[in-house]
């Protein structure tokens, strides 16, 4: 399921996660994209401005950020 900015009130788990290394994303308001660790659902979340999130996703998709060991 795609994240629709301002219209995704529930947490959506990435379908690309593996081995328990999952992130969840939601965007209940137009001004923010929230991200959290699916293993720590009561823990903190990070909030990004939409332009910053779009740049991050593009960087990951295009392989510009490298790979963490």
* In a domain? residue 28: yes
* In a domain? residue 35: yes
* In a domain? residue 69: no
- Confidence band (pLDDT; 50, 70, 90) for 52? very high
Model-wide pTM > 0.75: no
Domain that holds residue 40: 8-60
Length of the chain: 69
* In a domain? residue 38: yes
* In a domain? residue 13: yes
Report pLDDT for 46.
92
Q: What is the mean pLDDT of residues 36-49?
A: 90
Alpha-carbon distance of 40 to 57, in angstroms, equals: 22
* In a domain? residue 20: yes
């Amino acid at each position: 399921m795609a994240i629709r900015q301002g219209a995704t009130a529930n947490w959506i788990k990435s379908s690309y996660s593996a081995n328990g290394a999952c992130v969840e994303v939601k965007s209940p308001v137009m001004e923010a994209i929230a991200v959290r660790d699916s293993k720590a659902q009561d823990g903190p979340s990070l909030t990004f401005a939409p332009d910053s999130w779009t740049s991050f996703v593009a960087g990951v998709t295009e392989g510009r950020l490298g790979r963490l060991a």
